[in-house]
C-alpha cells in the first residue's frame, strides 16, 4: 500500500501547474500504482490527481464506479497529459475534495466532456464522459492546473459549506 500523504490546502503544490509527462519511467509507473492504491484504500474516493500527493506531473486516476450511487461510467481510468477537446451543457454539482476535507461546494460544471489523454501504456486514448463521471474528470484535471473546486464556486458566501461529519 502506498503511503504518500494527501496534501491539504494551502499546500503550495496544489496551486502549481503540473509538468507534461514526456515518457515512461519507473517513477511514473510507481506514481500511477500509488495513486490507484490510494484511491482504492480511501472510502468513497472516485479520483486522485498527482499534485495531491506532491507529484507535479499531469497524471490523474478516476473511477466513478466507486461512487455510492450507481452512475454510468467507464470504470477505472488513468489519464496522462489530458487535453480537453470538447465540453457541453452545464449543471451545478456538489463537490468535495481530499485536499479540502472540511468543505463542499456547489460548482457549475459541463455535463458532457471529451478529452484526449495517454493511458498507463502511454497510448493515446479518447475519453468521452457525461454526468457524474464528467464532473469527476473535470475536478481532477483542474488539479493539474492548480485549480481547486473552491475557485469555481459562483459565490463563496452561498455555495461553500462545512462538510457534515457522519460518525
- Is 13 tagged catalytic? no
Whether the link from the prior residue into 10 is cis, omega within 30° of 0, is: yes
The backbone torsions φ and ψ at residue 128, rounded to the nearest 5 degrees and listed phi first, read -125, 130
* Annotated catalytic residue within 95, 114, 120, 140: 140
DSSP labels, 97-133: ETTEEEEEEEEEE-SEEEEEEE-TTS-EEEEEEEHHH
Q: CA–CA separation, 77 vs 61, rounded Å?
A: 6
**CA dihedral sign of residues 7, 81, 84, 38:** negative
Q: What angle do CA 98, 100, 105 make, to 5 degrees?
A: 105
Q: CA–CA separation, 59 vs 94, rounded Å?
A: 23
Q: On the CB side of 144, how many CA atoms lie within 13 Å of its CA?
A: 22
Catalytic positions: 140
Amino acid at each position: 500500500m502506498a503511503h504518500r500523504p494527501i496534501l491539504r490546502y494551502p499546500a503550495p503544490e496544489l496551486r502549481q501547474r503540473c509538468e507534461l509527462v514526456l515518457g515512461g519511467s519507473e517513477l511514473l509507473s510507481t506514481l500511477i500504482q500509488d495513486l490507484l492504491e490510494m484511491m482504492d484504500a480511501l472510502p468513497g474516493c472516485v479520483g486522485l490527481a498527482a499534485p495531491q500527493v506532491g507529484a507535479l506531473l499531469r497524471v490523474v486516476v478516476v473511477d466513478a464506479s466507486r461512487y455510492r450511487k450507481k452512475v454510468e461510467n467507464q470504470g477505472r481510468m488513468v489519464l496522462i497529459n489530458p487535453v480537453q477537446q470538447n465540453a457541453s451543457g452545464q449543471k451545478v454539482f456538489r463537490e468535495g475534495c481530499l485536499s479540502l476535507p472540511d468543505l463542499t461546494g456547489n460548482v457549475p460544471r459541463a455535463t458532457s466532456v471529451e478529452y484526449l489523454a495517454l493511458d498507463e501504456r502511454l497510448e493515446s486514448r479518447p475519453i468521452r464522459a457525461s454526468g457524474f463521471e464528467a464532473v469527476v474528470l473535470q475536478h481532477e484535471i483542474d488539479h493539474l492546473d492548480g485549480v481547486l473546486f473552491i475557485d469555481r464556486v459562483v459565490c463563496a458566501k452561498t455555495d461553500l459549506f462545512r462538510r457534515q461529519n457522519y460518525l
